[in-house]
Amino acid sequence: MTSWRLGSCVLLLLFLLGLCVGRTAHSDNLCPVSNVSYKNFYDGCGTYDWELVASTPYDGYDEGDYIVYGYCAGGYTMCNCTIVPQYDVYGSLNFFTQVNEDDSTTFWWDIDQWNSPTFSGCTSGSCQSTGVVIHTSGYIEFDVGYDTAYCDQ
Amino acid sequence: MAFVAFFLALSGLAMAQTVQRTQEINQVVMAEQILTPDGHIYLTVKNNSGVAITGMAMTATKTAIDATSGRSLQSVRYFDSIVNPFGPGGQSISPGESYRFSLSGPLEKREIVARLRAVIFADGSTMGEADWIQRLIHSRTMDLYYIDQDLQILQNGKASSEPAEMMGQKAQNLSDSVFHSSASTEDKQVAMGLCHEVLMYLNGNFDQADAPDQRVEKAISQLLTRRQRLLVSKPKLDETGPVPSGS
C-alpha cells in the first residue's frame, strides 16, 4: 500500500513538473516583435508614406513603404458661424502580433485610411445660408499580408 | 509645394531601378522584382491579359546572407480589390496596368526572393498555384462570413434599440474570440479588420458630427457595401461559406 502511494506521488509530481515545463515553454515569447515604423514623405495634406519597420531583440525587419491616406480641410464656416481654420487629419497604423506554436511570431499592420471629406449645406443655425457641414468617412485596409519572424535560427 | 515634392520623391523611386528577377505566368502576367536607388524592393506585376485582375497572392523569403544580416523572415502579401474595395487600392488592375507590392526598405539587409503565387481575374478565371488561389478565395468567403456576423450584431442591436456601445462590445467579443482561436492569420486579419472598422464608425472616429444612430447606420451601410462587392465578385462565393479555419 505504501509503495503504491509512493508510486502515485512520484507519478503526480512528474505530471505536475511536465505541466510546468510545457507551460513555461509556451508562455514565454521567445520572439517579441515591436513596431518601429517611421514616416518617409508627407504630401502636405494629411497623407504620409510610412516605412513599415518591425524589430525583435535580435533583428530589425524593414517591410517597405506604404501610403496612409489622411485629408486636410478647414477654411469653411460651420452652421453656427464658427470659422474653422485649416487642419490636417492623418490615417494611422495598427500593429498586431501573434506568437506561434513553433515560437516564431507573425506580425502585420492594418491601416486606418481616410476618404476625402464632403460638405453639405446647413438645415439650421445662424449661418444656415452660408455655413456647411463636413462629412468624413474612412475605411480599414486589412488582409494585405503578414510576416513571420523566426528568432531561434 | 510639399505636395509636389512628395510626388516627385515617389516618381523618383520609379527611375533608375534595377530588375533583380522576372517571372511570367502563362505569358499574360509579368512580375519583376525591382530594386530602387533608395534601397526599396518591390514586386511589380503587369497585367498583359485582356481582363482586369482583382486578386493576387505573393510570397517573399528573406534570407540572412551573413552573420550581421539577421535571421530569416517569411512574408506573404495580398492584393484584393474585392476584400479591400475602398480607396486607390480598391481598383482592379486593368489590362496593361501594373500593381506594386512593397517588399522591403533601405534598412533590410537580407537577400529577398519574391514569387507571385496566384492571380484572380474579374471574370472569375484564375492562374497560379491551386493552394494560393484557394487562400484568396477563402479570404473572400471569410470576409463575407464575418461581415454577416457583424451585420447581424448591428441590425439586431438597432431593432432592439441597443446602445451603440453594446453593439461595439459584441463586435469586439467576436473579433477577440477569433484572435484567440487557432484560426488562420488571414481569418484573424479579416475578423479583426472588420471589427476595427465597425468600431471606428460606432465610436464616431470617422465622423464626429454624426449622432449615435447615424453612426450605426453608417457602419451598416459600410458593411453592406463590402458585402455587395463580394456577392457580385467572381468566382462566385459560397454564401453558406466554409467554417472558419481552426474552429
- Interface probe with A: pick from B59, B86, B245, most Cβ of A within 10 Å: B86
Is B1 close to A44, i.e. CB distance below 8 A? yes
Cell of B219: 457602419
| CB B22 within 8 Å of CB B31 | yes
Per-residue confidence (pLDDT) for residue A11, from 0 to 100 = 52
**pLDDT over 70 for what percent of chain B?**
89
**Alpha carbon distances (Å) from B196 to A12, A44, A112, B166:** 46, 27, 9, 15
- As a whole number, mean pLDDT of residues B125-139 equals 97
Among chain B residues, the shortest Cα distance to A58 is held by: B70
Average pLDDT of span A92-97 = 96
User: To probe the interface with B, which of A95, A112, A143, A147 has the most B CB atoms within 10 Å?
Assistant: A143
What is residue B15's predicted lDDT score, i.e. its pLDDT? Answer: 61
Please, which residues 208-227 of chain B have a Cβ atom closer than 8 Å to chain A?
A: 208-209, 218, 222
Query: Would you tell me which residues 132-151 of chain A have a C-beta closer than 8 angstroms to some C-beta of chain B?
Result: 133-151
Per-residue pLDDT at A69 exceeds 50: yes
The three cell numbers of residue A31 are 520572439
The residue of chain A nearest to residue B57, with distances taken between CA atoms, is A145
The residue whose grid cell reads 492623418 is A90
Please say if the pLDDT value at position A23 is more than 90: no
Lowest mean pLDDT among A16-20, A48-52, A97-101, A108-112: A16-20
pLDDT at A26: 44
pLDDT at res. B191: 97
Q: Is B68 part of the contact surface with chain A (CB cutoff 8 Å)? A: no
Quote the CA–CA distance of B10 and A39 in Å, as a whole number.
Answer: 13
Contact between A41 and B6 using a beta-carbon 8 Å cutoff = yes
Q: Are B60 and B113 spatial neighbours (Cβ–Cβ below 8 Å)?
A: yes
Segment A113-132 shows an average pLDDT of 95
Q: Do B108 and A151 touch (CB under 8 A)?
A: no
CA distance B242 to B141: 7
What pLDDT, in 10s, does the model give residues B4-59?
455 445 555 556 899 999 999 999 999 999 999 999 999 999 999 999 999 999 99
CA distance B96 to chain A (A): 23
Give contacts of A100 with chain B, Cβ < 8 Å.
none
The CA distance from A13 to the nearest CA of chain B, in Å, is 30
Pairing, β B98-104 against β B41-47: antiparallel
Identify the pLDDT of residue B247. 46
Residue of chain B whose alpha carbon sits nearest to that of A149: B73
Using 50, 70 and 90 to split pLDDT, how confident is the model at A1?
very low
How confident is the model over B170-209, as pLDDT tens digits?
A: 999 999 999 999 899 999 999 999 999 999 999 999 987 7
User: Coil, strand, or helix at residue B213?
Assistant: helix
Average pLDDT value for residue range B57-80: 88
Q: Does residue A108 have a pLDDT over 70?
A: yes
| Cell reading at B214 | 447615424
pTM score: 0.87
Side-chain-side CA neighbours of A10 within 13 Å: the count stands at 6
ipTM of the modeled complex: 0.89
Contact indicator for B25, B128 with CB cutoff of 8 Å: yes
Determine the length of chain B.
247
Section B144-173 average pLDDT: 97
pLDDT score for A18:
43
> What per-residue confidence (pLDDT) applies to B208?
78
* Selection from B40, B45, B3 nearest residue B24 by Cα: B45
Confirm or reject contact between B185 and chain A (CB < 8 A): yes
Determine which of A5-14, A69-78, B65-74, B140-149 has the lowest per-residue pLDDT on average: A5-14
- Chain A: closest CA distance from residue B158 (Å): 21
Predicted local distance difference test score (pLDDT) of residue B193:
97
**CB < 8 Å from A in window 133-162 of B:** 139, 143
Q: Beta strand B126-128 with B29-35: parallel, antiparallel or unpaired?
A: unpaired
How far B48 CA sits from the closest chain A CA (Å)? 23
* Closest CA relative to residue A117, chosen from A98, A99, A135: A135
- Tell me what the pLDDT averaged over chain B comes to: 91
| Contact call for residues A51 and A57 (beta carbons, < 8 A) | no
Question: Mutating which of B71, B117, B225 best tests the A interface, going by the most A Cβ atoms within 10 A?
Answer: B71
Q: What are the two backbone dihedrals, phi and then psi, of residue B52, each rounded to the nearest 5 degrees?
A: -65, 150
Is some CB atom of chain B closer than 8 A to the CB atom of A84? Answer: no
What b/e sequence results for B187-206 when a residue is b if at least 16 CB atoms lie within 10 Å of its CB, and e otherwise?
A: bbbbbbbbbbbbbbbbebeb
User: Given this model, what pLDDT does residue B65 score?
Assistant: 81
- At B82-112, the pLDDT tens digits run 999 998 878 999 999 999 999 999 999 899 9
Q: Are B190 and B181 in contact (CB under 8 A)?
A: no
Q: What does chain A come to in residues?
A: 153
Strands B41-47 and B126-128: unpaired
Q: What is the secondary structure of B179-209 as a DSSP string?
A: HTTT--HHHHHHHHHHHHHHHHHHTTSS-TT
Q: What angle do CA B156, B162, B165 make, to 5 degrees?
A: 110
The pLDDT assigned to B10 comes to 53
* Average pLDDT of the segment spanning A86-103: 94
User: Is B86 close to A45, i.e. CB distance below 8 A?
Assistant: no
Q: How far, in Å, CA of B218 to CA of B67, rounded?
A: 52
In the 3-class helix/strand/coil scheme, how is B108-162 assigned residue by residue? Answer: CCCEEEEEEEEEEECCCCEEECHHHHHHHHHHHHHHHHHHHHHHHHHHHHHHCCC
CB < 8 Å to B103, chain A:
63-64
Chain A contact for B105 (CB, 8 A cutoff): yes
Question: What is the distance between the alpha carbons of residues B198 and B157, in angstroms, rounded to a whole number?
Answer: 13
pLDDT for A31: 82
What is chain A's mean pLDDT, rounded?
85
Count other C-beta atoms under 10 Å from residue A140's C-beta.
24
Residues of A in contact with B40 (CB under 8 A): 64-65
